[in-house]
Chain A
Amino acid sequence: MKHCPNVRELSAYVDGELSEIRRQRVEGHLSRCFNCAAALQEMRHLRAIFTSLPVRQVGFDLAPFIRARLTASSEGTAARWLGWCIHDLAPLSLTIAATVVTGIFIGALLTVPGTVTGPESQAMAVFDPVPPGGICVGHASCYNKGKL
């Protein structure tokens, strides 16, 4: 390898993530290049410092707490659902019931015998299926004898 490997290559070399061919090339270059060897040394130094990071631990069993939260959330969901039923569905149900009752009441008013009477008229008789000019036997609108 004539040219210096890029930082990505060196970093992957430190992690042992290069293919065998690439690894050999990088190693060959490192033996001749002071700058790359220094960069590699810094990366290894950094890796070593990671091992000195304080080891953080929970210190107690989290499982009971997680279970309590799961139970609380499922109870909360049920309570929310119930609350939703009471607070949201009740007014909606009442409105629907009131609408249905009103409809039935108005409908009952309209269907009481004698309360509503339609006008007696033969105006619609002109739409008889008998075509114009056809013989219409006995229909009053065809024989307006009063005007003739």
Chain B
Amino acid sequence: MGKRYRGRMPACVNEPSDTEYAERARKGDWESFSVLVRRHQDRVYRFVFEMMRCREDALELTQEVFLRAFRALPSWRSDALFSTWLFRIAANVAIDNLRRRKLATYVSFDECEDFVALSPGPEELAEAGERGRLLEFALQRLPPEYREVLLLREIEEMSYSEIAQVLRIREGTVKSRISRARGLLLQLYLRQCGEL
């Protein structure tokens, strides 16, 4: 399976890279930063949306991510991938926000027995009949630390090394966190589908 292009496809081959635009933006060129926003806004938004599960919050926080990025551009080092750096900010913003709002409700393996009570009702299930929607419901119940690592892996298709850079954790921690997250998500998903 070929690796898809992350972010908006450049219009032509000669279009400057993120690094070049970020260098220009660092010198105060707003237009360059606008290009970076347009390139990455959907990726950041999707990540933040799956973390927050609310369009208004996700839009607000996506803007917050870019605001913070613009202000922190002087500290950005050009040897780091701009997108990796941006996702680090996005992960911090999302987790901070969840903690502040105390929305970080999740279930552990032991609490899975109670999951039926937390799962959507028959009407919601009928509306969200697709597998993707069911997965979103299950993702919602994961601890944020598990959710973010899975989203970076499965949606952003980042390698363990990239995830480790984004979250500033060791690759071994990424490996174990992903496997635990998968185990828990699988249980939640199957329970949701009534297959367990």
Q: Are B179 and A57 in contact (CB under 8 A)?
A: no
A56/B131 contact (C-beta < 8 A), A46-B189, A62-B63 known: no
Q: Which of A8-62 contact B (CB under 8 A)?
A: 8, 10-12, 15, 17, 42-43, 46-47, 49-50, 52-58, 61-62
Tell me whether B67 is interfacial, beta carbon within 8 Å: yes
Q: Most A CB atoms within 10 A — which of B30, B41, B62, B130? A: B41
A46/B38 contact (C-beta < 8 A), A15-B160, A66-B67 known: no
Q: Are B59 and A58 in contact (CB under 8 A)?
A: yes
Question: Could you tell me the distance between the alpha carbons of A71 and B156 in the complex, rounded to whole angstroms?
Answer: 31
Interface of B is mostly: helix
Q: How many residues of A contact B (CB 8 A)?
A: 29
Tell me whether A139 is interfacial, beta carbon within 8 Å: no
A12/B63 contact (C-beta < 8 A), A43-B186, A56-B49, A57-B46 known: no
A42/B186 contact (C-beta < 8 A), A8-B179, A66-B67 known: yes
Question: Could you tell me the distance between the alpha carbons of A52 and B134 in the complex, rounded to whole angstroms?
Answer: 10
Q: How many residues of B contact A (CB 8 A)?
A: 39
Q: Are B175 and A11 in contact (CB under 8 A)?
A: yes
Q: Are B160 and A52 in contact (CB under 8 A)?
A: no
The answer, among B33, B67, B135, B176, for a CB contact under 8 Å with A69, is B67
Determine the chain A residues whose CB is within 8 A of the CB of B63 once the complex forms: 62, 65-66, 69
Q: Are A11 and B132 in contact (CB under 8 A)?
A: no
Question: Could you tell me the distance between the alpha carbons of A65 and B61 in the complex, rounded to whole angstroms?
Answer: 12
Q: Are A49 and B183 in contact (CB under 8 A)?
A: no
Determine the chain A residues whose CB is within 8 A of the CB of B49 once the complex forms: 56
Return the chain B residue nearest A16 by Cβ: B159
A17-B159, A46-B182 provided; 16 other pairs, C-beta below 8 A? A8-B175, A8-B176, A15-B153, A17-B160, A46-B185, A49-B131, A49-B132, A52-B130, A53-B135, A58-B45, A58-B62, A62-B63, A66-B37, A66-B66, A67-B34, A70-B67
Residues of A within 8 A of B (CB): 7-8, 10-12, 15, 17, 42-43, 46-47, 49-50, 52-58, 61-63, 65-67, 69-70, 73
